[in-house]
Amino acid sequence: MYERTVTIVAQHGIHTRPAALLVKEAKLFDCDVIVECQGKQASAKSLFKLQTLGLYKGVTVKVFAQGDNAETAVDRVAELLLTLS
């Protein structure tokens, strides 16, 4: 398993539009990509579940994955969490 921890810096957090872009990117990978925030976990491939995490500015998020291309998937999703607004 590979994981990274990032802090959301987007002024309005990760709302629907950026979350949809994140889901689209996560679905490119065969491995399971999980986002954990404030004790809750959700698949990075589910827009609905991501929206239940409360991905607000300043929140620390852990992204982890297991399987084929896990490291690449986690790095890409983590970078999106840092750059999407």
Q: Catalytic residue positions?
A: 15
User: Which residue in this structure is represented by tokens 């590979």?
Assistant: 2
CB-side neighbour CA atoms (13 Å) of 37: 24
Backbone angles phi, psi at 3, to 5 degrees: -145, 155
- Rounded Cα distance between 11 and 58, Å, is 9
Of 61, 81, 79, 77, nearest to 69 (Cα)? 77
